[in-house]
Amino acid sequence: MNRKEFIKQSALISSLGILAPQILQSCNDNVFDPFKGKKLILVQLQGGMDGYHILSQKENDLLNKLRPTLQSPFKKQGIFWKDNWYFNPNFKILSELIQKNWFVPITNIGYPDYNNLSHFAAKDMWETASVVGDKTMYKTGWVGRLMDSQKLKPVWNPNPVLLINDDDTIFDKGNLFDGQSWKSHNEFANFDKIQEEWLYNYKTDNVENYNHIYHTINNNNNIAKIIKSLNSAKNIIEAKDMYGQFEIVTECIQKELPFQIYNITQTGYDTHHKQTIQLEPLALQLFGAIKKLGEKLTESGQWNDTLVFVYTEFGRTIAENANLGTDHGTANHAYIFGGNLKEFTNFNQDIFETTKIANNEYIKHQIDFREVYDKLQSAIL
């Protein structure tokens, strides 16, 4: 169907007398406003990362007994942080970032439902901010609800949440708004054609539906313009590694593009076998990319207005298994990075408690992850 046939056949909302070309023109005329406010970068480590591989207690009889191989680096050359906490010597970079006041670990974070160690159930809890047994069980994401309430603005110019490499998420899904996926940028090359197909196939006399499709097209059209303008987009076809993903985010922030929350995902942390070989290259790449982000945003004067929150769906078992790995666990560590972290230092505790599940010892959480969400929201809104 050519453009002439399309215009002739389509009337998006006949009762309003609004034709598709007018919608297309107003979409193409839209220009976003620069965003100069506080930014949040959410980093999901999929698979259940073993935080105790990176930060552990050196003088802990239970840990030393049940994970002799994994605790060995801490006992031999652990880098002191505070109290009884030590960094794995292979993660000296984190000790350096703490000394720069760019990094705060959040120890033993988790949720009260210890009976469900499923990846999918745990991911849903983190993304909806609701736990089995709550009075209200949300089906929408915690950031999606912020967009629905219009606490995150601008909402439609474009949506203020950008997903860099994963659109299979719930956290950004609201009843009214969703985050925008970077992965779909290849579709924007022929966006005029996509707009025509949308408008031709979507006919309604409902004003609310008209507004929804208009704003969706408007939003996607703006995203197309933004992505085409990025230098990083010209060199990165698919941002798979951490440096590539953070390069996109860095450029978006430095150009004051209209996003307040970014989401980055790193996979590969379900370390049932040979954990050290699998986990350490991934985590070192992640922390190296965050350090580079901090350096670049410090140069541009934007690091103090940026927070990076790194989390995973659950921790690992206290005991290492026969394959020198660990299995699905409970509480874990999360990580906050940024240039101004004074509000987050009170989350650190030297408490190590366990709980029994099927006669096995698991780490008991000391901090409900939703407390950190509340703090993150208050810090950026």
pLDDT digits (tens, 9 = 90+) for 328-350: 999 999 999 999 999 898 877 77
How large is the average pLDDT for residues 366-371? 94
Return mean pLDDT, the chain. 83
pLDDT above 90 for 274: yes
Q: How far apart are CA 163 and CA 179, in angstroms?
A: 7
- Give 76-134 as a DSSP string: HHPEEEETTEEE-GGGHHHHHHHHTT-EEEEEEEE-S--S---HHHHHHHHHHT--TT-
Find how far residue 324's CA is from the centre of its chain.
Answer: 29
Q: Is the peptide bond before 154 cis (omega within 30 degrees of 0)?
A: yes
**The pLDDT value given to residue 135:** 79
Pairing of β 103-110 and β 367-368: parallel
Contact 236, 244 (CB under 8 A): yes
**The pLDDT value given to residue 223:** 72
pLDDT above 60 for 1: no
pLDDT digits (tens, 9 = 90+) for 188-208: 545 555 555 655 565 555 555
pLDDT band at 359 (very low <50, low <70, confident <90, very high): confident
- Least confident residue range of 100-109, 181-190, 364-373: 181-190
How large is the average pLDDT for residues 61-67? 96
More confident residue, 94 or 131: 94
Pairing of β 85-87 and β 79-82: antiparallel
pLDDT band at 357 (very low <50, low <70, confident <90, very high): confident
Q: Which CATH number fits domain 35-183+236-380: 1.10.150, 3.40.50, 3.30.1490, 3.40.720?
A: 3.40.720
How large is the average pLDDT for residues 266-271? 96
Contact 44, 124 (CB under 8 A): no
pLDDT above 50 for 377: yes
Q: Is the peptide bond before 158 cis (omega within 30 degrees of 0)?
A: yes
Percent of the chain at pLDDT exceeding 90 = 56
**Three-state SS for 309?**
strand
Contact 339, 306 (CB under 8 A): yes
Pairing of β 306-312 and β 332-338: antiparallel
pLDDT above 50 for 210: yes
Angle formed by the axes of helices 92-99 and 275-299, nearest 10°:
30
**Residue 166, CA distances (Å) to 56, 57, 120, 342 in order:** 30, 34, 15, 30
- Integer-rounded Cα radius of gyration of the chain: 23
pLDDT above 60 for 178: yes
**The pLDDT value given to residue 199:** 56
Kindly compute the dihedral angle of the four CA atoms of residues 128, 330, 364, 96, in this order, to the nearest 10 degrees: -90
pLDDT digits (tens, 9 = 90+) for 228-253: 778 776 555 455 689 988 999 999 99
Length of the chain: 381
**The pLDDT value given to residue 351:** 82
How large is the average pLDDT for residues 87-116? 92
